[in-house]
Structure 1
Amino acid sequence: MKTTIEFKNSELAGLANVLGGFKLKGKASLGRTVLIRKFAKKQEEVSDDLVDIQKKYFETDKEGKLRVFDGGEGKLIPKSELADKNDPKKLGPKAAKELDNDIKDLNNEVSIIDFSEYSPRFKALKVSLEDYPYELESDSAIAYERVYDQLEQAFSKGDK
């Protein structure tokens, strides 16, 4: 049986950071560590996808790396055909809107995380979160809810 959970790309970093602060022991802690590693791997993929998107709008050097303005603190150089006519150091309004939409789409895409091989660890994580004895607020409570709901759904599919 293939067991998966899903999160939006925009959630990955925040969930990993908050989950890392939870007080867990044994298999639950191992499950959390595996999940955080899987989040990190997905984040790398998202970062690569972001660079690919940026390459559609900004100049690259001979090695294919994005070019930045000298002294521009990492500000990317727009492709000349997409640059703003009044300020060539910025993207034109149409290109800027398209870039923004492409980035929003990437952030809203769902990352699917397979944890079939780690199922006992993730089951222990679910059980520990189910009876988590500490009070959670704001981002921690939201992360808790997102991770727990996904684990609960994944394991309830397997019970059917």
Structure 2
Amino acid sequence: MKTTVSFKNDELVGIANTLGQFKLKGKASLGRSALIRKLATKQEEYISDRVGIQQKYFEADKEGNLKTLDDGSEKLIPKPELADDKDPSKLGKDHEKKLNSEMNELSSDLSNIDFSEYSARFKALKASLDDYPYELDKGDAVAYSRVYDQLEEAFSKSSKEEE
């Protein structure tokens, strides 16, 4: 049986960074490390997908690396046929809207992380988060909540399926 958690693509880095700061030991620490590795893999996929979208709108070299302006701004160079008529260093308005829409959709897409093989470690992580003794604020509290809620949901689903 697969046990999964899901996070939005644009949450991956923040969640991994926050988890890395938690003071955990034993199996909970091992579970955290496994989750961080899986989040890093999903983040790499997300970055690759972002580049894939950008390559549709901006110039790239033969290796697929996006080209930037020579002015030091690191601003991407629009494909000539998609550039703004008045300012060729910018995308045309319609193309910019399409690009932004695709990027926003990708950012909101869910990355599903299977952790069936590490189930005991993830259960220990959830148990440690149940009684996490340290105070969290702002972004750390949000990341904690997202991870905890996902683990709680995953384990409640798996226990219902076992019944």
Please provide the CA RMSD for this pair. Answer: 0.9
1:41 match: 41
- After the TM superposition, which of the residue ranges 8-17 and 58-67 deviates more from structure 2? 58-67
Structure 1 moving runs of 4+ over 3 Å:
none
2:78 match: 78
SS of the residue 1:7 aligns to = strand
SS of the residue 1:59 aligns to = coil
Structure 1: gaps spanning 5 or more residues: none
1:121 match: 121
- Alignment: residue pair count: 160
The alignment's TM-score, normalised by the length of structure 1, stands at: 0.97
Q: Which AA in structure 2 matches 1:12?
A: L
SS of the residue 1:73 aligns to = coil
1:12 match: 12
1:146 to partner: Cα distance: 0.4
1:66 match: 66
Q: How far, CA to CA, are the matches of 1:157 and 1:116 in structure 2?
A: 13
SS of the residue 2:113 aligns to = strand
Q: Which AA in structure 1 matches 2:16?
A: A
1:30 match: 30
Q: Kindly provide the CA deviation profile for residues 95-117 of structure 1, in whole angstroms up to 9, marking residues without a partner as x.
A: 11111101000000000000000
The alignment's TM-score, normalised by the length of structure 2, stands at: 0.95
Q: How far, CA to CA, are the matches of 2:14 and 2:30 in structure 1?
A: 19
